[in-house]
Structure 1
Amino acid sequence: MEILPTFVISILAIILTSPTIASIIPTHPQTFIQCFSHHSRLSTNLSHLLYFPNTTSYSSLLLSSIYNLRFASTSTSSPLVIVAPTDESHVRATVLCSRVFGLHLRVRSGGHDYEGLSYRSYNQNPFVMLDLANFRSVTVDVEHGTALVQAGATLGELYYKIAEKSPVHGFPAGICPSVGAGGHISGGGMGNLVRKYGLASDNVLDVKLVDVNGRVLDRESMGEDLFWAIRGGGGASFGVILSWKVRLVPVSPTVSVFTMQKTLEDGVFDLLDKWQSIASKLDEDVYMEAAIRAPMSNGSRGVEALFNFQFMGGCEELLGIMEEKFPELGVEAKDCKEMSWIQDLDLGMNVDGSASYSAAKVWGKPYFKSNFERLALVKAMVDPENFFQNEQSIPPFGGPE
């Protein structure tokens, strides 16, 4: 006769007097601790892994990487427990125990999350937050042109680790160093190298992910459908991303940059029109963007634009390109600066949490376009009960409308 684990017996005893299984955690946190211990390796002392609202470090950990202060308010819902894993088995245990207690799971990697979807709940449903701040190692293999980056590492940490090994290798992702690699890459990941090397997700070779059943999968074991979905469809809809294996790309040892500010008096609208007509036709080593904003200086009227340029090469060559393709901008040698690649880098909602496929199409179709239905089909295949969900996650496909 098989003996039930202690935590199961505890849950069965408590649930008889609780209105819902999710309501057990606030009053009986020990039941979650017992479940977590049962499913994870090592560690008899879990105080550095599990943080409940009544523990002293709970608030500081929750607020440690909240960039939108709106969500620092006590009026928004907070996790019943924060898990800060240091081992794969801790992630697996978090997934399994969250399911046992009927709790939603929010996953925070770098925490650069202005919508608050990784650490807050708009719909007030009880949830567990998995904070991957301890999963931040980066291993660079210049010989094979690859890097292994854990989901909690920031883009800045990835870039600096690459630069330590090679001044002529990089990774095509975003320019903000505090963005977490886990969420950024799974959402596509656009940066200044996009014209030459594509998105960050285009340069993923392999991945390690914990699925809804607690299995640790790689590209081979998960299959190409799921591997496709998590590279642009958002990993949090399909599982917990632990790490990415990415392809490094060659970069120039010298990068040239300049920024030009133009106002109404400078003919900013004509310049923007010209920028739109030539930007896609320039050499793929040129990245050019325009940021339109209200004037920052007192007394100015209308709008102004900042034209930002990056070129994989020296200023002399860039100035030649600008003179030929965009002389109206008036770029001069004094405007251009040369630096290394690493120096340059240093510089819709499901309100009730239970949106159907047809309801989510309202925002999903415009955002993901023709990929939305395929993403929903993959979701139905790997997480049919929609355990991995937030207000902007992919819902499982529900069949014909």
Structure 2
Amino acid sequence: MGMLPRVSGLFVSFFFFSCSVASPDGFLHCLRAKSVPSELVYTQSSSNFTDVLASSIRNGKFFTNATVRPLCIITPGPGDASHVQAAVLCGRRQGVRLRVRSGGHDYEGLSYRSSARPSEVFAVVDLGANLRAVRVNRYDSTAWVDSGATIGELYYAVAKNESRLAFPAGECSTIGVGGHLSGGGIGMMMRKHGLSADKVLDAKLVNADGELLDRAGMGEDLFWAIRGGGGGNFGIVLSWKVQLVQVPSTVVAFNIAKTVAQGAVEILTRWQDVAPCLPNDITLRVIVRGQQAMFQALYLGGCVPLVAMMADQFPELGMTSTDCQPMTWLQSAATPFLSFGTNGTLEEALLDRSTSLSRSNKIKSDYVRRAISKAAWEDIFPWFTKPGAGFVLLEPHGGFMGSVPAAATPYPHRNGVLYVMQYLVGWQQGDDGTAATAWIEGLYELMGQHVSKKPRRAYVNFRDLGIGENDDAGTFEGGEAWGESYFVGNYRRLAAVKAAVDPTNYFRNEQSIPPLR
């Protein structure tokens, strides 16, 4: 977004934020005074306020009568940084905090709701409404992508410009680019090309003083922090310049299911040693649900070498040429969870932003650095038959991931990590979720003896308030419980950056980086 104007910082430095003097009316009047069009601001009295708020809520339990609603929702116009700058300046002047939403996939809903502070006055800056442009430069294999675009929209735009180009990111096409890159961004090509954040070359950010900055303007410390330090901490990133990667004209995917009776426990136990050490061109993950383990792979190559590789390095899986599913890389990105089937066309699958409030969910995460024994897996598998049971997703690291120093970006889970484990459970509207919540909390407690310790690690993009929240004072020490889990040794550096760029802690939520005093 090189055409966006940079504002002068001369008139912003004197603003001081204080929740105790919040002025909702003053905030709205200030937005009007700064020429933010009224049609881009939805107040609670607007007829379509509820529809706009719900438009990208991905978790039904956060859309109830008890949910703390924002004062208003601001939907910045395309290519116009001044609307976001106005929101920041007015928010600081009038004591109104901002929460920033791109795709709405924050598992705790912190991009659009206040969890523990029902009296907090806040507004939502919804980037997904209008800031969704993707500008591909096929000649230098880069793209500028707005934070409100989904990764499906990014994938589609890149591949339609050049079919041999792609971008390493997640598997769910409705994830917002802003949140995904802010937290790191794991996906099916990370063993070959790293995290999404590893491919960020530049960014446009509105800081706590309302200034519009690029990489040169923000400096390398802040640029480091926004590439994995979590969304909504250091400012509002409007767009990102990313390095695209080369992919072959045809890739191969497969799904191989193994039940317990077919040796799922033994094969999964073996998978832990194999998957992180396979060639970088393949990612082989596992979904454990019920009494079955589903082995899913994406290979950046052809069927013949893949079959040979599996026969040599993982014969226990019994993979053959009949399991091969050749396709373009874009087709692999459009098949959710590599299910090899979607409703509608490829374009519809990748560009569909629809959501549903009929289902609620809870997610937790762990990192495994030492293979879990077969005997332990035999104790774990019965949990998937309990009432309310969900599933776990195991995604291997290794490859490129193991070659990057832990401090290269805020995402520290690099060398020595075998895989990341995501626990997922859901329940339908009308169910209070008691059984599902008890299941995931019980399994998480059981797994504590088998996963990383001191700290027990977690992935910030799988946000979980169960591992801790900030204290009321927003102190560094009050955030250590969750901060060390997400960022390990990088937490202190993130807090130091926060103190330098947002010393009054304006960009704050229940799990935002606090300033290091």
CA 1:367–1:20: 2 relative to 1, 3 Å: closer
**Which residue number corresponds to residue 121 of structure 1?**
114
Contact 1:285–1:311 (CA under 8 A) maintained in structure 2: yes
Rounded to whole Å, the distance in 2 between the matches of 1:308 and 1:52 is: 45
Picking from 148, 159, 170, the partner of 1:174 is 170
Rounded Cα–Cα distance in structure 2 between residues aligned with 1:304 and 1:112: 27
Residue 20 of structure 1 deviates from its aligned partner by: 5.3
Q: Which has the larger radius of gyration?
A: 1
What is the aligned partner in structure 2 of residue 8 from structure 1?
none
Counterpart Cα distance in 2 of 1:155 and 1:231: 16
1:39 touches 1:92 (CA, 8 Å); kept in 2? no
Which of 144, 149, 156 does residue 140 from structure 2 map onto?
144
1:226-375 to structure 2, matched below 5 A, reads 226-294=222-290, 303-347=291-335, 348-350=467-469, 354-375=473-494
What is residue 345 of structure 2 aligned with on the other side?
A: none
* Amino acid of the structure 1 residue aligned with 2:56: S
SS at match of 2:114: coil
Q: CA deviation at 1:32?
A: 2.8
Name 1:63's counterpart in structure 2: 54
| Structure 1 residue 114: Cα displacement | 2.3
Does the aligned pair in 2 maintain the 1:353–1:389 contact within 8 Å?
no
Which amino acid is the alignment partner of residue 356 of structure 1? T
Question: Residues of 1 paired with 2:225 and 2:263: CA distance?
Answer: 44
**What stretches of structure 2 of length at least 5 have no aligned partner?**
1-18, 336-466
Q: Is residue 72 of structure 1 aligned with residue 63 of structure 2?
A: yes
Q: Which residue of 1 is the match for residue 21 of structure 2?
A: 21
- Between the aligned partners of 1:244 and 1:215, the Cα distance in structure 2 is 16
- Provide the C-alpha distance between the structure 2 equivalents of 1:95 and 1:275, rounded to a whole number of angstroms: 48
Give the number of the structure with larger relative contact order, counting CA–CA contacts within 8 Å between residues 6 or more apart.
2
Q: 1:101 corresponds to which residue?
A: 94
Q: Distance in 2 between matches of 1:264 and 1:131?
A: 45
Once the two structures are superposed, residues 125-149 of structure 1 have per-residue CA deviations (whole angstroms, 9 ceiling, x without a partner) of: 1101100121000000010110000
Which residue type is aligned with residue 105 of structure 1?
A: L
Deviations 1:257-296 (A, max 9, x none): 11111111111111012111111221110111111122xx
CA pair 159-258 structure 1, distance change in 2 beyond 3 A: same
Percent identical across equivalent pairs? 47
Normalising by structure 1, what TM-score? 0.88
What residue is the counterpart of 1:385 in the other structure? 504
Q: Distance in 1 between matches of 2:276 and 2:330?
A: 25
Mean Cα deviation higher: 363-372 or 177-186? 363-372
Q: CA RMSD in A?
A: 1.4
**Unaligned segments of structure 1, at least 5 residues:** 1-18, 295-302
SS in structure 1 opposite 2:39? coil
Q: After superposition, give the CA deviation of every residue in 1:48-78 in whole Å (9 maximum; x if it has no partner).
A: 1111111101100000010100111021100
Residues in 1 aligned to 2:92 and 2:217: alpha-carbon distance in whole angstroms? 22
Contact residue 252 and residue 303 of structure 2 kept, 8 A = yes
Aligned length: 363
Taking the aligned partners of 2:114 and 2:276, their CA distance within structure 1 comes to: 40
Is 2:158 aligned against 1:162? Answer: yes
Amino acid of the structure 1 residue aligned with 2:33: H
1:396 paired residue number? 515
2 CA distance for matches of 1:61 and 1:200?
A: 28
